[in-house]
Chains A and B, each alone.
Chain A
Amino acid sequence: NAGVMQNPRHLVRRRGQEARLRCSPMKGHSHVYWYRQLPEEGLKFMVYLQKENIIDESGMPKERFSAEFPKEGPSILRIQQVVRGDSAAYFCASSPPSGADQPQHFGDGTRLSIL
């Protein structure tokens, strides 16, 4: 499968635990975007990364959330000390290196549930 791979597909955490969501972009794509989808809402942009660089994190909550895209390995979205309001579907998308005309290719998402 040459598409965007996200894992796990489903993640259950208790309040106060940490959640780590992984995303491997499509082959040849070096740009990664993370979005959050709350129930009955559209997707909201969180962060845009290139290899080893955070380019735009204007949509990230100021606390508890962080993202990285190391030189080797997948991109990671990390949520510390999770709360019930973090329950959502988190989608990763990737695109080739270019401008705003490049469509993004989405993974199937990670459904995060907080008990």
Chain B
Amino acid sequence: AQSVTQLDSQVPVFEEAPVELRCNYSSSVSVYLFWYVQYPNQGLQLLLKYLSGSTLVKGINGFEAEFNKSQTSFHLRKPSVHISDTAEYFCAVSDPNSGYSTLTFGKGTMLLVSP
């Protein structure tokens, strides 16, 4: 069985500061990894994904994430945040050995960017 832990439920940060949102996963098999963002009253939008290859993955809106197999982590980073980045961020995994992409999500991290 797979599980995802997002250690911080809320991360407050000032505008233009760097931010890291943490994600750890637990799985007995290899996984695909995803970060999604959810703005208020909207659905989830894909930020980036790791399938294989380079462990540093770049996504939309200036976000990037690094896959660390030994630490089973996939932390999300942005060097300088904007007010508009205020949203809920979800880390998710899927099983490459399944024939379909059912996602297991973490509980989410609320990023609060203030001026």
Contact = CB atoms under 8 A, between A and B. Distances in A.
B2 to A, nearest CB: 11
A101 B41 CA distance: 27
- Dominant secondary structure at the B interface: loop
Interface string A18-46: 00000000000001010100001111110
A88 to B, nearest CB: 14
B44 interface: yes
A48 B100 contact: yes
A21 to B, nearest CB: 13
Given A42-B105, A42-B107, A44-B105, A100 B43 contact: no
A104 B41 contact: no
A42 B106 contact: yes
Q: Which of A40, A98, A101 has the most CB of B within 10 A?
A: A101
Nearest to B45: A106
A33 B102 CA distance: 7
A54 to B, nearest CB: 12
A55 B100 contact: yes
Given A101-B32, A107-B43, A108-B42, A43 B103 contact: yes
Contact of B43 (A55, A103, A109): A109
B25 interface: no
B61 to A, nearest CB: 16
A56 interface: yes
Given A40-B107, A43-B90, A108 B101 contact: no
B62 interface: no
Contact of A99 (B36, B43, B44, B100): B100
7 residue pairs, one from A and one from B, having the closest CB atoms: A106-B43, A42-B105, A100-B94, A106-B44, A42-B107, A100-B101, A108-B43
